[in-house]
Amino acid sequence: MTYVVPRAVIVLIAWGLTCGLIRTLSPGADAMTFWVAGASWGFVGIVYFSYLRRLRRAPEVHRSRP
């Protein structure tokens, strides 16, 4: 859980900044635009942080092998 919470906060902040930018540049944007932005940030967050976790675990896996 200590791994997930800070990453979720980073993704939520990025989503909020993106929504603020969309609201500023296009005040008439519909709600689906914000949901798509949130879904894309969620997907990117999952992929990126799982990749970082895999990179961090790679040396441990190789050390434990004989």
CB 22, CB 64: distance < 8 Å: no
Q: 3 versus 26: which is more confidently predicted?
A: 26
On the question of pLDDT at 35 being above 60, the answer is yes
- pTM, full prediction: 0.68
Instruction: Tell me the domain boundaries of the chain.
Output: 4-61
Which residue carries 């993106």 as its tokens? 18
Give yes or no for residue 21 having a pLDDT over 90. Answer: yes
**Number of residues that this document lists for the chain:** 66
Other CB atoms within a 10 A radius of the CB of residue 30 amount to 8
Residue 39's SS3 state is helix
